[in-house]
Amino acid sequence: MAIGSADEMRVWIRYSLDLGYIEKNQWEYLKTEYQTIAKMLTNLHKSHQ
């Protein structure tokens, strides 16, 4: 469920960029943070299988 929520967040930050709510540098920062969190969630999931 958490991985799905993280993926949804990725979509929302992209929408925010496309709609002009955030600047490209903000989007790049948030995208990088998302990727870090997504990797942590994926590794956590793999470790509990």
pLDDT band, residue 49 (cuts 50/70/90): confident
Q: The tokens of 18 are what?
A: 């496309």
pLDDT at 7: 83
Determine contact, residues 49/18, Cβ cutoff 8 Å. Answer: no
40: left (phi over 0), alpha (psi -120 to 50) or beta: alpha
Which pLDDT tens digit goes with each residue over 1-48? 777 887 888 899 999 999 999 999 999 999 999 889 889 988 998 898
Neighbours of 16 (CB within 10 A): 15
Output the pTM of the full model. Answer: 0.76
Neighbours of 13 (CB within 10 A): 19
